[in-house]
Structure 1
């Protein structure tokens, strides 16, 4: 005879898992704030756990070291950034597809400006990336993580740009990987300037639309019909 008592084993296992995920998320959120405020070297485990409302025990039951936490934080941050860009690309596609005439430089500049609108987190992003770069320079074991993140993010961005260009009726006139190095350098410079001087700083993100649009028309061509 089958027991009428429901099997709740999987539920019992799921609850700690959900709680653990919440704990990790809170530790990562706290670490993001602490790392961008004090820097990696000055950030202590105690400061991070205190900000998250936990003890050292909660930290070490989830991460073996501060370095592991930092890499996980960077991985999450890059994932969120990539997802955000994919969402913006999806929103942009219908507008480009509806274009009746070839896109102009001015229209491209407006699209770029909307695509890279101000988020308010530019300074924190810059601080986090700089801390990771410094960590990679001090700890060779972390350098591979940094280059992997950068390469992966640039590859994802290249795919998105290729999609956008195709819908706009254009294509790169040079290998896309080379084009992305050029475009990435322009963006990163503007990003650094805005992170330090504000979104509207001269040559910062507020001027990125015109600069990227002009460059795009220099390194792309219309797709023959």
Structure 2
């Protein structure tokens, strides 16, 4: 059967199906779900009534924009606008692949049954961005902390060495209490050498 004719038939069945009961969400169990960007997720609603026959299940964005129609657990059609990333799943579910942030929102499943009419369930899908703190992130953070520790250790070592050498310098350049000549006084050896030089020049001048 031509897929477009099948889609037309499904839509006709959906809009012309005699709804004998009011829409009651309590007979459907639908749970909100979260998934990561780039992953796949399967949305399902579970009909809690066993005394009714499912004639059709449709999925939309809780508005008039429909995604898929199913007339049985194994037979149905996904509208062409969504066929690249949406496929039918077991138990009247749909699977959305390659999720992106724009896929977040409400999804409604509408169960048409006989003889109890229509039941609607709502699922909120939240698509989460991937955690930026990947393995590379932790590697970079660890490397940065390691570099900071090395810099801190080198800085502390340099400060300690500078402080130590400063103490040695001031210790060697300070006044000594023993074995030192009085300030501003020449050494006796230097004085003797100076006197001998003076006498030598006196003798030379005398002979001249």
Compute the TM-score of the two structures, normalised by the length of structure 2: 0.18
Q: Identify the structure with the greater helix proportion.
A: 1
Q: Identify the structure with the greater strand proportion.
A: 2
Compute the TM-score of the two structures, normalised by the length of structure 1: 0.16
